[in-house]
Amino acid sequence: MNVASNWFNSLTESLLSHRRYIPAALTLCTGTSLSLVAAAVVWHSENQRMQAEFHQQADRLNVTLQQSINKNLEVLYSLEGFYRASTEVSRQDFKLFAQPALARNTAIHSVNWIRRVPAAQKAAYEQTIRAADFPAFQIYERTPDKKQVKVKARSEYFPIIYREALEEDNKVIGFDVASSPDRKAALEKSVNTGKIAASARIRLVSNNQPGLQVFLPVPRRTTSADNSVNSRQNLMGVIAGLFQITSMVDSSLESLNLDNINFYLYDNSAIEKERFLVRYDSQAKQLIDNPKHEKPELANLRGKICQNPSACTRLFNVADRQWRLLVLPGKGYNSMRTHQGSLAIGAIGLLMTGGLTIYLLMSLERTAKVEQQVYDRTIQLKQRTAELETALKNLQEAQFQLIQTEKMSSLGQLVAGVAHEINNPVNFISGNLLHTGEYTQSLLELVEIYQQQYPNPTPEVQAKQKEIDLEFISEDLPKILKSMNMGAERIRQIVLSLRNFSRLDEAEMKSVDIHQGIDSALMILDSRLKPQPGFPGIQVLKEYGNLPLVECWAGQLNQVFMNVLSNAIDVLHEKKSHILPNGKNSYDAAFLPRIRIRTELLSSNCVCVRIADNGSGMTENVKKCLFDPFFTTKPVGKGTGLGLAIAYQIVDKHQGSLRCVSAPGEGTEFWIEVPVRQQSKQSVSKVSPAVGASWN
């Protein structure tokens, strides 16, 4: 009893003697504990963020690979469309069409035209090719040691007739693709289904690199009832593309940052031992196609990121085959650099705790200094966070604008291609209509002379004249030819407008007529300006001034006119109609939609295009955000909010200005000012905008 009492008294005295250190000790313990807990929480958050970033990179890699493969396959679809649109494709035509595609797509090893030759036509077809351009031509096949031998007798053959590659090799002309075991299955599937089909992994003969061959059948042009592509008799041939897998994948990696990330590529449609295609080593920064390395390291699969291999697996299609992408973190991915934030927070917390402890032991003045340090550090962290958020927002805006620019580029290419394809037959029709009119007039004059010289023809001639109504034909035929000539001229105007609008051949700055670009945009939007049931159409008032040629990027400036005019048309359609309680559209008969386009020369080096509508106008709040990316007043799914933002950047690129004048109920007017000649140092003079849009 005395011992216990003495021990308790001794402990009490010791605590009382050191009680001044209790607040510091409690502060030290509490601060250390909270710092460790905060560091652990941030550590866990960093792990989650690291996993999310890894899977985002895996998704981007998957999408990029799919887009790269689709881009290469589009070459085959373009050739297939070329064959469908042409009555006959010569070797020179094939070369001129395929060479630009090969130059742009380095993953394409070669593009071949494979003709289906039935056994009964083999000898005659070989003789035709010999007489045309290959005197020693014959259909052959290869032995296992790559020697050329005469092809074996079969019911049909698929020899290579045309071939275009980055490295010219005419030795393959005449090779029967159906004789190759690693290509025959894909060829047969493509022929039987009438759809695109790809082979499993093969070795390219020229460089022993891994590749695959894709076949796309082309049916024969026929007017018979049996026009099914599944009929082998109706098959003209097959377009074959030979692709190098490593080049196809390597071109996709140029836009990606794959530090410390490895991936494996497999062909799920192949048998188990032939599924491996290629792997990427992030340390060596190279693609490896050695099948000895087809199995991933199991240690990488046991990490937190890829606890389940399926979470790191992505699937995508290559023609008719399914490829599997296995993305794995490499060595050093989950390094201490990933947890710098948690370590910093732990260190900062411990430093703060130590400072607070010292404050309790030393003085209030020291406390104030420590608190100021903590405050300053917090402000720095907030500023850094704000900078990161701003950088992320700018990156997202740049990505969306890049996508929109790519869409407009694709649209321009499509418009230019369609205009070029339509232009030739229209010229042919227009030229022949002139001669047809002359011949018709001559024939009608001959008939008239005949009637004057022989006023009493035979009964058979009289009966035929009555049956065909010769008098009506004589009056109506010139009218028909005139109508056809007007239609051909209308098509030529539309084609000219499409070509003027796209201007793909004018990648550099040129001096152009601004009015041509505006008229081209109006021609393309003509269908939206015409009257519709319950809608009287939009009246376009042109007040063109006498403008000089303007030095600009014509295609980009046409995009500005298209965006502004399209927005004006949308506004007028929205103002014209409103929804009744029964869900139907009702129109205001008193409202007449109008768009006025006025051009003028503001100074010796500045032209102005003013596009105004008599729509509902807009408020000041809307005007403030009008040129911000992703801002739109349209319903979800009907507007991206990028049209005017891109237009603003294009005009700014031309050293000009894009402004909007609008008020609720008074319509909207856009001022597009660009210099006549671009100046590198001197800015373009500015002119004050009008007070508002007026309608006279």
Q: Write the pLDDT tens digit of every residue in 63-94.
A: 888 888 888 888 889 988 888 888 888 888 88
Give the whole-angstrom CA distance, residue 510 versus residue 513.
10
Q: Which range, of 354-368, 376-390, 491-505, 665-679, averages the lowest pLDDT?
A: 491-505
Residue 230 has pLDDT above 80, yes or no: no
pLDDT value of residue 1: 56
Share of the chain above pLDDT 70, in %: 78
Q: Which range, of 152-156, 213-217, 232-236, 335-339, averages the lowest pLDDT?
A: 335-339
Give the whole-angstrom CA distance, residue 31 versus residue 351.
9
Residue 20, φ and ψ in degrees, nearest 5:
-70, -20
Residue 95 has pLDDT above 80, yes or no: yes
pLDDT value of residue 46: 77
Reduce the DSSP state of residue 577 to 3 states and report it. strand
What band does 692 get if pLDDT is binned at 50, 70 and 90? very low
Q: What residue type is assigned to position 658 of the chain?
A: L
What band does 198 get if pLDDT is binned at 50, 70 and 90? very high
Place of tokens 């041939």: 237
Region 334-338: mean pLDDT is: 62
pLDDT value of residue 215: 93
Distance of CA 543 to the CA centre of its chain: 37
Per 3-state DSSP, what percentage of the chain is helix, strand, and coil (rounded to 5)?
55, 20, 30
Region 103-122: mean pLDDT is: 88
- Bridge partner list, 594: 539
Distance of CA 434 to the CA centre of its chain: 43
The model's pTM: 0.47
Of all helices (H) and strands (E), which one includes residue 611?
Answer: strand 606-613
Residue 500 has pLDDT above 60, yes or no: no
Residue 300 has pLDDT above 80, yes or no: no
pLDDT value of residue 522: 86
Give the whole-angstrom CA distance, residue 37 versus residue 35.
5
Number of helices and strands in the chain (H, E): 16, 24
Give the whole-angstrom CA distance, residue 326 versus residue 298.
13
Region 51-58: mean pLDDT is: 83
- Which of the pair, 240 or 274, is modelled with greater confidence? 240
Region 40-61: mean pLDDT is: 82
CB-CB contact of 261 with 57 (8 Å): yes
- What single string gives the DSSP state of each residue in 112-151? EEEE-EEGGGHHHHHHHHHHHT-TT---EEE-TTS-EEEP
Q: Rounded to the nearest 10 degrees, what angle do helices 470-502 and 514-524 cross at? A: 120
Q: Which range, of 67-81, 396-410, 535-549, averages the lowest pLDDT?
A: 396-410
Region 313-331: mean pLDDT is: 88
pLDDT in tens, 614-659: 888 888 888 878 877 766 777 655 666 667 887 888 888 888 999 9
Give the whole-angstrom CA distance, residue 286 versus residue 303.
24
Q: What residue type is assigned to position 201 of the chain?
A: R
Buried b (16+ CB within 10 A) or exposed e, 625-657: ebbebeebeeeeeeebebbbbbbbbbbeebbbb
CA 677, 679, 682: angle at the middle one, nearest 5?
A: 130
Region 209-216: mean pLDDT is: 90
What band does 302 get if pLDDT is binned at 50, 70 and 90? very low
Of all helices (H) and strands (E), which one includes residue 57?
Answer: helix 22-85
pLDDT value of residue 413: 61
